[in-house]
Amino acid sequence: MICFLALSQSKAKRLVEPAMKHALTSPKLLIFNVMLFVCGLTISPHGNATDLATYDAIAAAPDNHHVVFENEQVRVLDVTVKPGEKEPFHFHPGSVMTVITGAKLRITEATHNDGKLVIGKTIEVGKDNFQPPALWNPQGLRSVENIGSVTYHAYQIELKSEKKKAD
């Protein structure tokens, strides 16, 4: 996983393109990607950075998220959710998710307004031992519950915002 981060853009594209073509030809993969993408688009954290800091995945759900690599551009998390386990609400910036072992999940979105957590929509996605191609995971405040029978395992590559250069 960490070696993938060091690949050039062209090499990374050659590795990802076949998986994405497969996702477009496989209805199950396409539906899974679309559901996660649509869910992610509806998730809006709101609130200010100080409020959201308490919802950082490492602080809010430390039993499920472990940092395996971090630098100025990315933070790579090893994510696990056991069967029957529900993560506390937590925030992720825009990221790429690589699922190692999929599970049936219930994902609940939320927003953070005026210091309060406001619960939004809930969807169910995936199935046990399902391994979709890498997928985009838009920023959001969410809780994930494993309603399957296997431990969900993934690597989440969070992208850090670039600092704006002075004019």
Q: How confident is the model at residue 162 (pLDDT cuts 50, 70, 90)?
A: low
Of the two residues 32 and 150, the one the predictor is more confident about is 150
| Domain limits, the chain | 2-159
The overall average pLDDT reported for the chain is 76
Q: Selecting from 3.40.50.2300, 3.40.50.1370, 2.60.120.10, 1.10.10.10, what CATH number does the domain 2-159 have?
A: 2.60.120.10
Three-state secondary structure string covering 51-89:
HHHCCEHHHHCCCCEEEEEECCCEEEEEEEECCCCECCC
Q: How confident is the model at residue 35 (pLDDT cuts 50, 70, 90)?
A: very low
What are the tens digits of pLDDT across the range 85-132? 999 999 999 999 999 999 999 999 998 888 888 999 999 999 999 888
Entry pTM: 0.69
